Structure 1
Amino acid sequence: MKRAMILMLLFSLIPVFAQILFFASGGTIYQQYAFVKAYATGLLGTLEGMESGGQTARLYFQGFGMSLLFFALAFFSFEGRKKLLLILCILLALGISLLSGFRNVILGIMGTLFLFIMLTYPKKRIPVTIAVGLSFVTFLVALTPFIPSLPGGVQRSLSFVPWYDIPYEVRYEAEVSLEWRFDIWDMAWEEVPDYLVVGKGFAFNKSLLDAYTVRYNTRINAFIAHNYHSGPLSLLLDLGLAGFITGTLLLI
């Protein structure tokens, strides 16, 4: 098990190095993405942001951050001498993941910690949960004076915190992204009743997708490609109710 965790951590570094190479070369070295999946829109947006300052520069290291969290939980404990190492790794994983600009990374990390505590420390659930929760709140409060000087990706990830002094363009971009997701979810929910018994499947009309790509309608483009940005909705709409139940049980 621990060997698997080590390998997972090491392999999660591959996309990190691929991005560093891409950004350090100004986008001229991209051949590594023939072997590593690329989030092309995000990479180009970050490259533009680094060069012009007109967009939020985001580093998509959240995969490595989550792998580091799992590694720390597997090797260290909230008890004993390794407690400080575990806390350090959790903070490092959080910091690395925040660079991505994704607000849900915080939910993922805190949710993972909560489940880990519930399952690993059944007799200390309440005190450990309170300690972790208070530590997180303290972390958010302590960051307050440093927010204006933090990288744009971190600011975007934390844009939901009401008292933070987030630059207008960063907060606006985050809000537009949220509205974008709500629009896709609305479109998906409208079709759910038609595909409860037999799902839509995974095929899509490439010609239609290309047409909306040319028009740069990213909402409809994502919807046509079944990119609903919601795991439960993807299961329900593409696989139907039976697929949703089966997929949920497999995840549990």
Structure 2
Amino acid sequence: MCITALVTGGVGLRSLGSDTFGGKKYVYLISAIAGYFALACQKIPKERAKFWILLFFLPGLTWVVGYLSSASGSLGFLQNLFPSDSIVDDGGDPTVFVDYIHRAGDMATAALALFCALMAYHGIKGILDLKKPWRLLLLGLTLAVSLFAGFRSMLVLLSLTFIVQFYFEGLFKTRYFLILLMGGILVCSVTLPVVHKLPLSVQRTLSFLPINVDPVARRDAESSTAWRVDMWKELMPLVPKYLIKGKGYGLNPDELFMAWESSSRGHVGSAEISLMAGDYHSGPLSLIIPFGIFGVIAFLWFLGASFMVLYRNYRHGDPVLRQINTFLLAYFTVRVFHFFFIFGSIHSDLFFFTGLIGLSVSLNQGAGQPIVELEATREVEI
């Protein structure tokens, strides 16, 4: 990353007087790496592990404040502290704006934070405990709120995380699978007949399923997908150009303005703007174009090492941390899949990966070891 910045004109922080943009993304990456070391160097006592899990995930609920401040004129001053990401959908085209689908992205981010806290704190087995139904109701609330963002990827992320953790907890051959199956059938039988009456943002989230949704929501989602696919087709031939020497994040504002003007006149495609701005809507492209093959190798090495640590902590970690380690492995796995195959951006997603592995190392004080290896180590020390 540092080498790429040096050979492509520097970091480029406009706020510090630079003539180029793009340095903020380097700051994101450096902060994510620093965050890992800040977590990993701390040892969390196992008796306080659940408290720190809540402290790690629940601050994401502050996104609710951002949403409320954007929706209420009297609370607008809170935008200075909690900026809002809730948007009116653009239909996939950055030059076209419509006014009929409001996507509450802030609420979905808050719902994701609460979802992660529930899954790590209680585990699926604890959430499905019918003696404590409020846990399941709270999980259902987080899933319902996440639908209002209009992001299909959010529903896929939450669903896959639940399924993978369900598998890692070994619940497919237990009564919990039957409870989940019957509950799913009940929810579908109640909601599917009235899906077309739900808000358009919710219908947009569900539009990838073979169900009846409003044509406006389906068309909006399909146009967004088509725009991304067309952009990727235009960008793929450019990958060999940046295979050895990455493009970096440096951005000349004058060139970006000219690209916008050319695009508005139909002289260049939207991929030209995306290439300059580094906004590829694709995890692999966001990695290989800015940093080349060497950046890809470094990132894959990091993922491999992280998987090894997370898996060892899941298999050989302290039984007290079993529930938390299970979630961290499941969520990390789904995040990697989401990054490569659904939607990702290395500068905005790296903190997910470094945060999860840093938290795992801090909780387990390293990587778990099999009993045989542990005893052998002790013998050597003696």
With the shorter chain as reference, the TM-score category is 0.7 to 0.9
Which residue pairs with 1:247 in the alignment? 299
Matches within 5 A, 1:47-58: 54-58=99-103
- Cα offset for 1:158? 0.4
Q: Which amino acid aligns with 1:186?
A: K
Q: Does 1:104 align with 2:133?
A: no
TM-score, normalised with respect to structure 1: 0.79
Q: Greater CA deviation, 56-65 or 209-218?
A: 209-218
Percent of residue pairs bearing the same amino acid type = 24
Q: Does 1:74 align with 2:126?
A: no
Counterpart CA distance in 1 for 2:183 and 2:158 is: 13
Which residue pairs with 1:49 in the alignment? none
Q: Does 1:43 align with 2:43?
A: no
2:53–2:117 Cα contact (<8 Å) kept: yes
Counterpart CA distance in 1 for 2:237 and 2:121 is: 46
Matches within 5 A, 1:99-178: 99-119=148-168, 121-122=169-170, 124-125=171-172, 132=180, 135-136=183-184, 139-164=187-212, 166-178=213-225
The change in CA–CA distance for 1:188 and 1:162 in structure 2 (over 3 A counts) is same
Q: Which amino acid aligns with 1:7?
A: L
Which residue pairs with 1:63 in the alignment? 109
TM-score, normalised with respect to structure 2: 0.55
Counterpart CA distance in 2 for 1:117 and 1:219 is: 40
Q: Does 1:234 align with 2:234?
A: no
The change in CA–CA distance for 1:143 and 1:202 in structure 2 (over 3 A counts) is same
- Cα offset for 1:63? 1.3
- Cα offset for 1:71? 0.9
The change in CA–CA distance for 1:90 and 1:187 in structure 2 (over 3 A counts) is farther
Counterpart CA distance in 1 for 2:207 and 2:60 is: 26
RMSD over aligned Cα atoms: 3.0
The change in CA–CA distance for 1:76 and 1:167 in structure 2 (over 3 A counts) is same
Q: Greater CA deviation, 206-215 or 77-86?
A: 77-86
Q: Does 1:23 align with 2:71?
A: yes
- Cα offset for 1:175? 1.0
The change in CA–CA distance for 1:21 and 1:38 in structure 2 (over 3 A counts) is closer
* SS of 2:103 mapped into structure 1: coil
Q: Which has the higher contact order (CA 8 A, sep 6+)?
A: 2
Unaligned segments of structure 1, at least 5 residues? 47-52
Q: Does 1:208 align with 2:208?
A: no
Q: Which amino acid aligns with 1:110?
A: S
Counterpart CA distance in 2 for 1:5 and 1:29 is: 30
Counterpart CA distance in 2 for 1:222 and 1:30 is: 31
- Cα offset for 1:223? 3.2
